[in-house]
Amino acid sequence: MDSAPHDEQFRLLDEKLEHALTRLAQSRPFAKATHQGPLLELAARMMSKPGGIERLYQLAPKMDDAGLFLGTDWDHPSMLLPNLVRHTLEVGDKTTIVLDCLSQLRLLAVVNDAHHHQGTTAEQARHFLTQVLALNLNQLIGGGDEALRVRLGALGEAVGEHFRFILEQIGFDQILGNLVDEIWRILAQRPIQVAHVKAMVTQIAIALNQGISDSGENRLGAERLISALFGPTQGCLDDPGIDAYVARLETMDHQGLQQEAYGFARAMHDVGLVSDYHVIYLRWLITQGHTQLIPDALGLSSTGLDALRSFQDLVHRLILDAIHPQTAQCVYGLALLLERGILYSQPIAPGLWRQIGLQLSERTEGIIGQVFGDQLPARVHLLAGVISLLGQPLGVGQGNNPTCQSVRAISMWSYNDPDYLLHLIAQAARFDSIQMHFEGQTLNSIELMTGLELPPLDTDPVSLILVPALDLIYKEMGRLCAERGEDPHRWINPEFHGWWVGREFKIAVDVATGKVKDYETFIGQFYASYHPLYNGNQPLIHPQPAGVAITDSGARFVGWHAITLIRIALDQEGVMRVYFFNPNNDSGQNWGNGVIVSTQGHGERFGEASLPFPQLLSRLYVFHDDPGGPMVRTEAVVPTEELEATRRMALESWAADR
């Protein structure tokens, strides 16, 4: 692609920025406010351009001297509080966010001795930026939570680039501990997409190798992450390189090879990351005829071992076709796929054989190549993505795209109906279209396209090809029932997701007015349908779609969001919790007023989020139920104070003005 037009756009924007900066510098103090707005608008556009953050950093001293911050809270940087940066991202408008970013770039120039601001030393500026990075690690790791994604929109990616630019300048030494903790928190959720985590671990490794003298638990946690990627076994402990490692394998006896297998499996399951050496080892085992060590290298239990033995040819073919250093993470997906035992479901093995030999459309190959590169054929990336998704149904995420409905459906099918998912993937990859039905009417995604549909470029290979088609189908279903005067999810969810979705539909708001209606009945019905103490101890058999009102850390309403109810159970402390799937890449979120979504430490399985039953219900606004409610009747009555506490939590958050 010719980059000249983009270079010309950048140059013209830069000229406008310089001109606006000159006008601001030449204006009188009382007129500064008039010229600050246009400059901030141009700076916002520059932030989103490749190389734009660096250019703004170069201009930041001039902006400071010209009076950009005059009359604002940022005019005295020594009085700024690092914890308010996060608050600005959550509640500030675009202009305020851009101003805050420019202030940070100004302080970075102070750190680098490229600018001087009276009353602020380089040490103070460095400390402030270090604290800002530590308090906004989600921007470095996963692009922010749901509330921030909704708020920032297109500016979100630029803000992430802004923080990464500062991080490169500041270095890891001051924030290593917080960064390591955040990486472990993300990995505890076992996401399919870990490229950003691997990049951060790599940078930590470089930083430590350069002599950063951090010690104690922080360094230990960092070294565990680094070891899992670059030296998980005795044979590759010194990160010798692929060729050297293969040469070492060829000289090992059986006991040495066995220890390598145990080491790889232990590191993979402990950390959730797969080393490139693990890939080389698995492929070497097959080519050299040491396949008896594959179960140990995957860390399989008796369930996974039986599945592997029953489908040995298929598993070996999946390893040889799909698993390469560029797709290393799907080794973990393969291990979990075998542990799930889904290969014993009759359609799955034939479906995977079809996927192995599937001829992709030219469009599919182009999209996958655009996102994942051309080092490997597109079908290899897609096959690796299929393996990961079937092994980790709760590891798929929506990235920075507002596609929670489609991603939830992909996860639910992988969890509950994997052969149907394989069918849809084959359709989309081969024919650039999928077919679904809505109340007897056939919907074909390709017929619903109104123009060039841009794929989500920050997600896994399966979502890359399925989400655009699913979004079109979902929107058409919404159009077909838009005039019915009720929430369209009443009809969409059963048709879109599957037969197991409850046909009774409960909603806490009036669709026409958006006001809460009959809320006491709503929460009572959820208790009677889902709480084991009040539904005859009936477990949740099939995952159920539900809708929550997302709130930010101040308990303010952000928007409606799709989740999947997975199970309800007591945690180790005897608290009844709802375990659910959140399509966000990061499910650990603060919904305000003490409602903090947990992803580990309260009985969560990998990929699950959880909240105590009343807290989750306080944010719920839609759920499905079987006709007539529970199959078993119970005389137990929900305590009035528990119902009232749930109601109060809702009225003090998303329902405050409803």
Residue 187, in any domain of the structure = no
Kindly list the distances between the CA atom of residue 233 and the CA atoms of 195, 197, 299, 301, 629, in Å, as whole numbers in the listed order. Answer: 22, 21, 14, 20, 53
Greater model confidence, 92 or 402 = 92
Query: Which of 97-101, 181-185, 323-327, 343-347 is predicted least confidently?
Result: 181-185
475 and 512, same structural domain? no
Contact indicator for 602, 571 with CB cutoff of 8 Å: yes
Region 467-492: mean pLDDT is 94
Q: Place 1 in a pLDDT band, splitting at 50, 70 and 90.
A: very low
- Residue 584 CB-density burial (10 A; 0-12 exposed, 13-18 middle, 19+ buried): buried
Q: 336-348: per-residue pLDDT in tens? A: 999 999 999 999 9
Region 504-512: mean pLDDT is 94
Quote the CA–CA distance of 122 and 108 in Å, as a whole number: 9
What local confidence, expressed as pLDDT, does residue 4 receive? 57
383 and 351, same structural domain? yes
518 and 473, same structural domain? no
What local confidence, expressed as pLDDT, does residue 554 receive? 82
Mean pLDDT value across the chain: 91
Residue 319, in any domain of the structure = no
Q: 584-612: per-residue pLDDT in tens? A: 878 888 898 999 999 999 999 999 999 99
531 and 469, same structural domain? no
Within 8 A by CB and 6+ apart from 4, the residues are none
What local confidence, expressed as pLDDT, does residue 143 receive? 52
Residue 37, in any domain of the structure = yes
**How large a percentage of the chain has pLDDT more than 90?**
72
Within 8 A by CB and 6+ apart from 462, the residues are 382, 385, 386, 389, 396, 410, 425
Contact indicator for 615, 650 with CB cutoff of 8 Å: no
What local confidence, expressed as pLDDT, does residue 452 receive? 66
19 and 59, same structural domain? yes
pTM comes to 0.85
Nearest in space to 382 (alpha carbons), one of 349, 422, 347: 422
475 and 508, same structural domain? no
569 and 456, same structural domain? no
Domain count, the chain: 3
Q: Is the confidence at residue 93, as pLDDT, over 70?
A: yes
Two tokens, residue 17 = 């920025």
Quote the CA–CA distance of 122 and 111 in Å, as a whole number: 4
Q: Which of 140, 170, 200 is the last residue of a domain?
A: 170
105 and 33, same structural domain? yes
Contact indicator for 600, 185 with CB cutoff of 8 Å: yes
Nearest in space to 366 (alpha carbons), one of 351, 352, 381: 381
Residue 571, in any domain of the structure = yes
136 and 102, same structural domain? yes
Q: Which of 170, 204, 239 is the last residue of a domain?
A: 170
163 and 19, same structural domain? yes
* Distance in angstroms between the alpha carbons of the first and the last residue of the chain: 51
602 and 509, same structural domain? yes
509 and 467, same structural domain? no
Which range of residues forms the domain containing residue 123?
A: 4-170
Q: Which of 480, 495, 529 is the last residue of a domain?
A: 480
Residue 85, in any domain of the structure = yes
Alpha helices by DSSP H, listed for 272-347, are: 276-287, 294-298, 302-310, 312-322, 330-340
Residue 65, in any domain of the structure = yes
Residue 266, in any domain of the structure = no
Query: How many other CB atoms sit within 10 Å of the CB of residue 104?
Result: 26
The residues pairing with 205 across neighbouring beta strands, listed in sequence order, are none
Quote the CA–CA distance of 578 and 299 in Å, as a whole number: 30
Q: 164-218: per-residue pLDDT in tens? A: 899 989 877 667 877 888 889 899 999 999 988 898 888 788 877 776 655 566 7
Residue 293, in any domain of the structure = no
- Residue 270 CB-density burial (10 A; 0-12 exposed, 13-18 middle, 19+ buried): middle
Q: Place 141 in a pLDDT band, splitting at 50, 70 and 90.
A: low
**Most trustworthy range by pLDDT among 62-76, 318-332, 615-629:** 318-332
Q: What is the DSSP letter of 490?
A: H
**How large a percentage of the chain has pLDDT more than 70?**
95
